[in-house]
């Protein structure tokens, strides 16, 4: 059974064909701007969750909710589809943490500390501060996994 396969680049032509891929891969890596960027939720899903919470508290009507979206005028069906996707992502994340705790790859107390700390990070931070704070949060999460 082969666990690792070594690749030998035969010549300059192969490297030349990989150059655009390497260029775009580097350009697409962006620094996280908010805690949302470190989560499994998309910006649209977070926006939809916020709007839905406001609607459920009777702070806004459904028509106002659909107009306040970044892409205004979406259909009610699209709103509920994105909401369902967001809820499914959250549910899957909760069960992922439960499995990780059961396996012993994370400590429940460490997860609780991370959640408490990360949930206090403001949504809007200046870019330099965001890089520092989110870098620390990411490093903390990295440290508690299988530590």
pLDDT of residue 30: 61
pLDDT tens across 11-68, in order?
A: 444 334 444 433 443 333 567 788 998 999 999 999 999 999 999 998 888 888 888 8
Query: Per-residue DSSP letters for the chain?
Result: --S-------SHHHHHHHHHHHHHHHHH-----SGGGGSSS-HHHHHHHHHHHHHHTTSS-HHHHHHHSSSTT--HHHHHHHHHHHHHHHHHHHHHHHHHHHHTSS-HHHHHHHHHHHTTS-S---HHHHHHHHHHHHHHHHHHTT-
pLDDT of 87 strictly over 70: yes
pLDDT of residue 113: 92
Q: In Å, what is the CA distance from 52 to each residue of 29, 62, 85, 98, 119?
A: 31, 9, 13, 26, 19
pLDDT of 90 strictly over 90: yes
Q: Please tell me the pTM assigned to this model.
A: 0.70
Instruction: Report the C-alpha gap between 85 and 92 in whole angstroms.
Output: 10
């Amino acid at each position: 059974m082969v666990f690792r396969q070594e690749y030998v680049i035969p010549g300059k032509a192969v490297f030349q064909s990989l150059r655009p891929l390497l260029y775009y891969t580097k350009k697409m890596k962006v620094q996280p701007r908010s805690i949302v960027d470190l989560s499994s939720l998309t910006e649209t899903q977070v926006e939809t969750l916020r709007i839905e919470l406001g609607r459920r508290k009777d702070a806004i009507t459904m028509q106002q909710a659909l107009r306040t979206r970044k892409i205004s005028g979406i259909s009610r069906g699209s709103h509920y589809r994105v909401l369902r996707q967001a809820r499914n992502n959250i549910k899957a994340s909760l069960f992922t943490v439960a499995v990780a705790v059961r396996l012993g790859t994370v400590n429940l107390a460490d997860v609780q500390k991370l959640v408490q700390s990360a949930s206090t990070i403001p949504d809007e931070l200046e870019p330099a501060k965001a890089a520092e704070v989110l870098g620390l949060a990411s490093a903390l999460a990295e440290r508690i996994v299988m530590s």
